[in-house]
Structure 1
C-alpha cells in the first residue's frame, strides 16, 4: 500500500510540473537545421559578406570571418562613413569606432581612435590581449601602435574637400537613409553623414560572431561616440540564441540597449524578425511625433541561420550571403511606410 501511494504521488507531481509555467529561457523557439550564413547592413555589405564567407569556407572561425568582412569597407576610400576615407568631425579630425564579439561573450572595442585604419582589428586585439572591453581616444591609439599597427593620416583629399565645403555653412543636417544612396557619390555639405556596417556570422555548428565599424556621423562634435563600439547597443552576440546589430542614429540605439534587446527578445521566444520589430517600436514609442524624422534599423541572425530586419523608415537594406547565393540584397520592412 505504501509503495502504491509513492507511485501515485510521483505521478501527481510529474503532472503538476508539466502544467506549471516554464522558466523564461524555456521560451526559446525550437531551432531549425543549422545553416551557415553571413549578414551585413547596407549595399556595401555585399563585398564584406564575400570576404567573410571566403574566410569561413577556408577554415577560419566565425570571429575570423567577422573581422575579415569588416575590414573591406574600412579599406574602401570611396566609403565616407567607415574606416579610412570616412568624413571627419567638425574639427576636421577622422575618428573611428568599432566592436567585435563572439557567441561565448568575448568582446573588444575601440572608440574615438585616430590615425589607425582598421579599428575592427584593434578591437579584436583589445579582446584577446587585454582584460578590458573598450579603449578610447589616445589610449586606443597608443595600444594599437604597441600592437604593431602603423599610424597614418586618415583624412583623404576627397573627405577634406567635403569638410571644407561643409564649413561654409557649418549646418549639421542628418539625412534619413543617406546610407542607401550610392555611397560612392561625394556630397559636400553634409548629406553623406552617418552610417555603420554591422556584420553577423553563423557557422554550421551554430557558432556566432559579429563586428561593427564606423567613422560615425560626419561633422559630429569632436569626442562624440555612437552605438557601434558599445557592446549591447550596436552589437550583441550569444551562441545560445543569436546575434543582432544596428544602424542609424546611434544615440537612440544606446538609449534602448538595442542589440541586446533584440537578442533578449529572441531568448524569450520571438523570431529574429519579431524581435527587430519590437525593438524598433520601443524607440518609436519614446517620441511624441512617432520618430517621423528618425532612422534606426536592426538586423538579427538566429543560431539556426534565420534572419530578421526592421527599421523605423523605409529604405534600410541588408546583404545576405549563404550557400545558395552570395550577393543577395534585401529591403527591410519598416514601421513607417
Structure 2
C-alpha cells in the first residue's frame, strides 16, 4: 500500500512538472501564430491617379470606416474622371471604337466580385461589388453583366469622350498596335486599404489596353491575377500588360511569397523576376506589382523604371513613390 502511494505521488509530481513546462511552450506557440497588431489605417494605389483616389479612400478610413468602402470610393474617382484615359469614363476604346471596362473587388472575408467586357457604365467597381454581395457568382461578363447592372439601377451612358474618340480615329490611320512602355493604356488603378480594425480590402478597375481586340480581357478583373487579398497575410495588385500577369497568377503569387516570410518589396520583386524568366519579350512590356502586409508595410517592383504608386497613412501624406525596377 505504501509503495503504491509513493508511486502515485511520484507520478503526480512528474505530471505537474511536465505541465508546468508545456504551458509556456503552448503560450509561445500561440504568440508566434497570433495576428500582428493592426498597422492601419493605410491606403496604397497605383500610378499618379492614385493620389486623388487615396484622398477619397482616406476620408472613410480616417473616420474608422471599413476598408471595403474605402477602396470602392477611392477607385471611383479615376473611374469618373474623363481626363484619365486608362480607367472608366474617358478610357480609350478598343480597335472597334468600344470602351469596355473590367473591374474586381475583394474584402477581408475572402469574398470577391468581378465584371469584365462591360460597356456603358461609368463605375464598374460598384457593379463588381454588387456581384459579390447579391449573387452566388464571382464574375459576370458582357451582356450578362450589363443586364445585371441595369437591374441594380446603374445608369447606362456613352463612355466614349470626344478626346478618346479623336485619339481612336487618329490611331485608325495606321491601325498598328505596339505597346509603349509606361505610355500605352494599361495604367490600371489598383488599390489596397487596411482599416484601423486590421481588415484589408482591395479593388482594381481599368479600361484595358487601348486599341485591343474587341472582347479582350486582361488581368484586372481576375481574382488572383490583377488582385488578391488574404487577411492572414496581406494583399497584392498588379498593373501593366495583363497577359503576362495572368500567366503567373501574379497577385496571388505575391501574397503567397509574403506568407512564406518575404517582405512586400521582396515578394513583388520575385514575381517580376518570374515574369522575366518566363516571358522572352519582357523588355517590350511593363508590369508592376504593389503589395501590403497586415502590419501596414508596403512595397512595389516593376520591370522598367517609371511605375509609381501613392501612399497615405498617419505618417505619410499621400506621397507618390517611384517603384524600384529590374531594368
Question: What do the CA deviations read for 1:64-122 (whole angstroms, capped 9, x no partner)?
Answer: 00000010000110111100110000000000000000121011000000001100000
Instruction: Name the TM-score, length of structure 1 as normaliser.
Output: 0.87
> Is 1:281 paired with 2:281?
no
Instruction: Name the TM-score, length of structure 2 as normaliser.
Output: 0.90
| Cα distance change, pair 257–52 in 1 and its aligned pair in 2 (3 A) | same
Q: Aligned partners of 1:249, 1:7: CA distance in 2, in Å?
A: 67
Q: Check the 8 A contact 2:37/2:198 in 1, yes or no.
A: no
Aligned residues: 319
SS in 1 for 2:237: strand
Q: Check the 8 A contact 1:28/1:268 in 2, yes or no.
A: no
The residue aligned with 1:166 is 171
1:61-210 paired onto structure 2 within 5 Å: 61-178=66-183, 192-210=184-202
Q: Aligned partners of 1:311, 1:83: CA distance in 2, in Å?
A: 24
Q: Aligned partners of 2:35, 2:228: CA distance in 1, in Å?
A: 21
Structure with the higher helix share, 1 or 2:
2
SS in 1 for 2:266: helix
Question: What do the CA deviations read for 1:121-158 (whole angstroms, capped 9, x no partner)?
Answer: 00000001101000000110110010000110011111
Q: Check the 8 A contact 2:41/2:62 in 1, yes or no.
A: no
Question: What do the CA deviations read for 1:241-262 (whole angstroms, capped 9, x no partner)?
Answer: 1011000000111111110111
Q: Aligned partners of 1:81, 1:193: CA distance in 2, in Å?
A: 5
Gaps of 5+ in 1: 179-191
1:210-225 paired onto structure 2 within 5 Å: 210-225=202-217
Q: Check the 8 A contact 1:27/1:268 in 2, yes or no.
A: no
Q: Aligned partners of 2:169, 2:127: CA distance in 1, in Å?
A: 30
User: Alpha carbon RMSD of aligned pairs, Å?
Assistant: 2.7
The residue aligned with 2:290 is 299
Gaps of 5+ in 2: 1-6
The residue aligned with 2:221 is 229
More moved, 326-335 vs 213-222: 326-335
Which segments of structure 1 move beyond 6 Å, counting only runs of 4 or more?
5-15, 26-30
Q: Aligned partners of 1:266, 1:272: CA distance in 2, in Å?
A: 6
Q: Check the 8 A contact 1:46/1:329 in 2, yes or no.
A: yes
Q: Aligned partners of 1:266, 1:64: CA distance in 2, in Å?
A: 25
Q: Check the 8 A contact 1:27/1:269 in 2, yes or no.
A: no
